[in-house]
Structure 1
Amino acid sequence: MTVQDISSLPPARGQLLAGLRDILPLAIGVAVYGLAFGLLAAQAQMSGLQTGVMGTIVFAGSSQIIAVERLVAGAGAGTALLAGLALNLRLLLITASLRDELAGRPWWQILLGVHLATDENWALMHAMRARGRPAGYWYLVGGGLALVAIWVLATVAGAGFAAAVPEPRALGMDFAFTAAFIAILRSLWSGNAMLLPWAGSVAIVLLAGLLAPLDPTWTLILGGVSGAAVAGAFGHD
């Protein structure tokens, strides 16, 4: 469907389909680290069904990776959950910036928009606006629906593949945690505005690891909270 065809549709439907279409190039990267996360989930003894349900409900790649990595490392469920939440505190800033798009909408649309908001479709929405194209709530939702579908399918495929391999470590799959996280970090970098929050987060993690006898989970939590605090203090979205 061309841009002209979409522009002739009712505004909500046209923006929904435009968001679905425009996000597809970015969704390729999501599929790659979704496969990697599926491999990780299999190492944590998660089935394909459990992996898919987690991806649908949580739908936060970096948060899911850290939480599962902490579980594999022997941390409890509570600390793994806190580590995942701390890493995704930046989403509070993203959802807060959507107040105009969410204002006056019914509760289910607010929940849907907040749940589907990611770095990719949020940034794409603003990029399209900068080009003069209409991109609002339904554009964001369209992109989010495409991403969550691809994320869940990729993670389930990765978990199923790992379950079918007798010795995942023999193929180097134990490196999947690191590889997936590097891929996600690369996708999150959006320019020099990210430098200060990231530097603050890294500094706190290093200092906490060197000067305080903390479990790695708590250093990750401190790093996530400090990075979000720096971003909020300096007005970075």
Structure 2
Amino acid sequence: MTLQDLPQSSTVRSRLAAGLRDILPLAIGVGVYGLAFGLLAAQARMSGLQTGIMGTIVFAGSSQIIAVERLVAGAGAGAALLAGLALNLRLLLITASLRDEFAGRPWWQVLLGVHLATDENWALMHAMRARGGCAGYWYLVGGGLGLVAVWVLSTVAGATFAAVVPEPKSLGMDFAFTAAFIAILRSLWSGNAMLLPWAGSILIVLLADRFTPLDPTWTLILGGLGGAAIAGVMGND
């Protein structure tokens, strides 16, 4: 490293630290439904190690929860994977909105930013900018690193705890999926702009369930695709 590199390195570190610091209050909520997901993962016979690896590689709370829930419900691995992907299609809109932050960066930084982009650190970055603060790529990455650390630790803790409980249902752990998904939905709500995509997605699921012979997994996939399409047409990030 040359002397000329020091100021830039210092700036990167300070913005990473700022993103990590500012995300901590939101990370507490992530940790709560991370524990719930760990309990659900244990019902799917996933070990703490498997849960941690999944959280690190996938790192998509709602997508992981719906995929594992479908496995617990008896759906095949392919259907569970598609359901998880459909539910997280909104991340395509989020990452597309970050094109200015990714412009001119090496491929590994783009991949890192895409992997760590979530509803929470994306919204926090824009909130900081709205207040006149300096928040860009490294601020986003700092927040993402904080979230992924809390998510992996909490999911592993939940799965490990459930594995040593002889009768999880006696403690109400079978409600883990519902509780976790409610928490995630609440965290995703960002105002009235979300109303139409959410309503459209719910309506599609209800109609498909009522008038088609599709398995619930596929109705969820249709709902996710429909909601993402509505949000895209409306121009919602």
What range is the shorter-chain TM-score in?
A: over 0.9
> Which residue does 1:4 correspond to in 2?
none
Match of 2:101 in 1: 101
- Tell me the secondary structure at the aligned position of residue 236 of structure 2: coil
| 2:34 counterpart residue number | 34
Letter in 2 for 1:193: A
CA deviation vs aligned residue, 1:173-205 (integer Å, no higher than 9, x gap)? 001011110010000001111001000000000
- The letter for the 2-side match of 1:177 is F
Match of 2:20 in 1: 20
CA distance in structure 2 between the partners assigned to 1:104 and 1:13 by the alignment:
20
Count of equivalent residues? 231
State the match for 1:91 in structure 2. Answer: 91
Cα distance between partner residues in 2 of 1:200 and 1:102: 31
User: TM-score, length-normalised on structure 2?
Assistant: 0.96
The separation in 2 between residues aligned to 1:230 and 1:67, in whole angstroms, is 23
**Cα-to-partner distance string for 1:9-61 (whole Å, 9 max, x where unaligned):** 83221111000000000000000000000000000000000000000000000
Identity in percent = 85
Cα deviation, 1:89-126, whole Å, max 9, x if unaligned, reads: 00000000000000000000000000000000000000
1:56-105, Cα deviation, whole Å (9 max, x unpaired): 00000000000000011111100100000000000000000000000000
Partners of 2:125 and 2:135 lie apart in 1 by: 6
Residues 196-218 of structure 1, C-alpha deviations (whole Å, 9 max, x = no match): 10000000000000011110000
1:195 aligns with: 195
Aligned partner letter, 1:63: S
Letter in 1 for 2:52: G
One-letter identity of the residue aligned with 1:191? G
Task: List, as ranges, runs of 4+ consecutive aligned residues in structure 1 with deviation greater than 4 Å.
Answer: none
> RMSD of the alignment, in Å?
1.2
Once residues 10 and 58 of structure 1 are traced to their aligned partners in structure 2, the CA distance between those partners, rounded to angstroms, is 30
Give the gaps of 5 or more residues in structure 2.
1-8
